[in-house]
Structure 1
Amino acid sequence: MKLPYSVTFLGTGTSQGIPVIGSEHPVCLSENPKDKRLRVSVLLQWDDYNYVIDCGPDFRMQMLRNNVKHLNAVLLTHDHSDHTAGLDDIRPYCFKQGGFVTFYAEPIVYEALHKRFEYIFASENKYPGAPTIKEEEILNLENFSIGGKTVIPIRSLHNKLPVLGFRIEGFTYLTDVKTISLSEIEKIKGTDVLVVNALREAPHPSHLTLSEALELIDKIQPKKAYLTHISHLLGFHDEVEAQLPANVHLAYDGLKIKI
């Protein structure tokens, strides 16, 4: 029996967030809360389980906003800062939950994090008070289990960087995608809800544009799709939302959906 669960969009913005520091762009000056976007992340919840995909620089604020009192694990899509810079802010969970937080990531991601956060991963003379990460490796795109649910890793390319998406039952989460193979698309087909990045209208070397995201959605044919990892250059939330197909929506920070 598949247990229902919820997905909360903790952040739906691109690497700079919205508003962009110092920007006078109209979207950055918007007073609509849906135009204010933290760095991209989602919270998955069922039973008493809490799982987060990516922990960027807004992780602390996202956990406080959503009153997340415990954290079972973090799944990482790739090592870029807007997806991992909040690593140190797992400390309160480490202190409350037996000394560590479990992470799921590919070996190449851990290699990068070991360099960037040497004080966290040091095997000797570790900095007192640094968080502890229990490293679970995602190898060869093999399925793994969290909280009794199977996770299917999905490979895509962020320009030339391999990144992961995740399918959990009827939900698939893809971010920082530029290209994805037909074989990986086949792993997604049949999903009820698809989340995928749509940066802006103009071409970009490492992110899907709005039209490219809509083309991918059309290939996969989910019941519903939500767009995330959004730049201020895409436009005002309400105006873009009004132009989308009936089954496609712009995600926004704080949106909660049931799967």
Structure 2
Amino acid sequence: MKATILGTGTSQGIPVIGCTCEVCQSDNKMDKRLRTSLLIQSQKTALTVDIGPDFRQQMLRYQVNQLDGTLMTHEHNDHIAGLDDIRPINFAYKNEYPLYGLPRVLADIKGRFSYVFASKKYPGSPSVVLKSIEPWEFIKIGDVSATTLPVKHGQLDILGYSFGNLVYLTDVKTLDPAVIEFIGGVDVLVVNALHHRSHHSHLNLKEALALIESVKPSKAYLTHISHHMGLHAKVNKTLPANVKLAYDGLVIET
């Protein structure tokens, strides 16, 4: 299985519009961050986790020609706003595009993209099938298997995903001990780290490192990174040996 990190930025992305900080002005491609998303590819199946506003750009950048569905973490705009751009996939495969998510998340998507689900659809609008999933559910899509993990994004219940040797958690603030036990010792953990200050719904760097120490993965990559975190090259030098800042286009083979 191959995992490609499609985007590692926060809801604003990096560079941030109008910002003149050293990160937003950096020439290092690792400081250029699209909105957070993940691509999972096996021999037969390709899935994304989330479908944010940079979805079209990500699919073109990484030459993704096959996509069999999207696993949703939650309903915030930076994780769902690219839904309309699944139309070329509809046209290519001539079928409905599956979206997997919590019932609350799917209901929100149905409301926000009401034209997609209208009884009299505008010709050429996206064709989507909603598939409800719950925490601690084992799901199989093609030849990709995943376990849905309960995650707290502040007070909001969202989902993370375990793909066996790789666990993907974004927008985490807290995890139940049962989740930490389940993912303990995983080969690769991808988890959010917003910046250095405390935040009401995201882990900061110190908190993310503490979580990584609890999970004890072989390798950990930090994602959903703000420009306030600092330059990629500088921050990476301060991290433990098994922890790195993720970057757009990072490929992880498991």
For normalisation by structure 2, the TM-score amounts to: 0.98
Which residue of the other structure, out of 119, 122, 125, is the alignment partner of 1:127? 122
Which residue of the other structure, out of 114, 132, 139, is the alignment partner of 1:137? 132
Which residue of the other structure, out of 48, 64, 67, is the alignment partner of 1:68? 64
Distance in 2 of aligned mates of 1:222 and 1:249: 12
Q: Give ranges in structure 1 of 5+ residues lacking alignment.
A: none
Tell me, what secondary structure is at the counterpart of 1:243? coil
- Cα deviations across residues 76-102 of structure 1 (Å, max 9, x unaligned)? 000000000000000000111123211
- Structure-to-structure mapping, 1:145-184, within 5 angstroms: 145-184=140-179
Q: Which residue of 1 aligns with 2:2?
A: 6
Q: Which residue of 2 aligns with 1:207?
A: 202
Amino acid at match of 2:88: P
Q: Which residue of 1 aligns with 2:52?
A: 56
1:46 matched to 2:42? The reply is yes
Amino acid at match of 1:155: P
Shift of 1:190: 3.0
For normalisation by structure 1, the TM-score amounts to: 0.96
Shift of 1:24: 1.1
Amino acid at match of 1:238: A
Distance in 1 of aligned mates of 2:189 and 2:5: 13
Identity %: 50
Q: Which residue of 2 aligns with 1:111?
A: 107
Distance in 1 of aligned mates of 2:71 and 2:130: 11
Contact 2:44 2:142 in 1 (8 A): no
Amino acid at match of 1:113: I
Tell me, what secondary structure is at the counterpart of 1:16? coil
1:188 matched to 2:188? The reply is no
148 and 49 in structure 1: CA distance in 2 versus 1, 3 angstrom threshold: closer
Amino acid at match of 2:147: I
1:243 matched to 2:227? The reply is no
172 and 205 in structure 1: CA distance in 2 versus 1, 3 angstrom threshold: same
Q: Which residue of 2 aligns with 1:223?
A: 218
Shift of 1:140: 4.6
Distance in 2 of aligned mates of 1:158 and 1:121: 28
Contact 1:13 1:228 in 2 (8 A): yes
Shift of 1:248: 0.4
Distance in 1 of aligned mates of 2:181 and 2:128: 33
1:84 matched to 2:86? The reply is no
Q: Which residue of 2 aligns with 1:94?
A: 90
Of 79-88 and 177-186, the range deviating more from structure 2:
177-186
Q: Give ranges in structure 2 of 5+ residues lacking alignment.
A: none
Tell me, what secondary structure is at the counterpart of 2:211? helix
Tell me, what secondary structure is at the counterpart of 1:37? coil
Distance in 1 of aligned mates of 2:2 and 2:135: 28
Shift of 1:150: 2.4
Of 91-100 and 74-83, the range deviating more from structure 2:
91-100
C-alpha RMSD over aligned residues: 0.9
- Cα deviations across residues 142-172 of structure 1 (Å, max 9, x unaligned)? 2111223321111111111111000011100
Amino acid at match of 1:120: V
Of 183-192 and 57-66, the range deviating more from structure 2:
183-192
Of 223-232 and 91-100, the range deviating more from structure 2:
91-100
Amino acid at match of 1:142: E
